[in-house]
Amino acid sequence: EVQLVQSGAEVKKPGESLKISCKGSGYRFTSYWIGWVRQMPGKGLEWMGIIYPGDSDTRYSPSFQGQVTFSADKSISTAYLQWSSLKASDTAMYYCARARIAVDGMDVWGQGTTVTVSS
């Protein structure tokens, strides 16, 4: 079964760092893009960016460039989204999802990771 399994919910304080994960299984991890999508409470979907684990080619939305970092470890089929200094406004659900070809949309999604940032 093809799936993406994300790490569990996080509660952090402003200024703290965080790295969440997305582990792929049931397919060739290095042959698919992994996209990251933010959904703030009660709001719509926001495309944050995308990484190709095969060669680490990475594209960020300008809205998120410099605010987050994507990475991937091919050896364990896992992609990561990290923050160096969280803000309260980072409170949201974060989804990873895969795309075989970037123009074809994202066909398999993780279950989401809830990040809560509060003092």
With CB under 8 A as the contact rule, the residue among 91, 102, 114, 116 that binds another protein is: 102
Which residues make beta-bridge pairs with 33? Answer: 99
DSSP annotation string for 26-87: SS-GGGSEEEEEEE-TT--EEEEEEEETTTTEEEE-TTTBTTBEEEEEGGGTEEEEEESS--
Binding mask 26-55 for another protein (x = CB under 8 A): ---------x-x------xxxx-xx-----
With CB under 8 A as the contact rule, the residue among 21, 95, 115, 117 that binds another protein is: 95
Catalog residues that contact another protein under the rule CB under 8 A: 35, 37, 44-47, 49-50, 59-63, 95, 97, 99, 102-107, 109-112
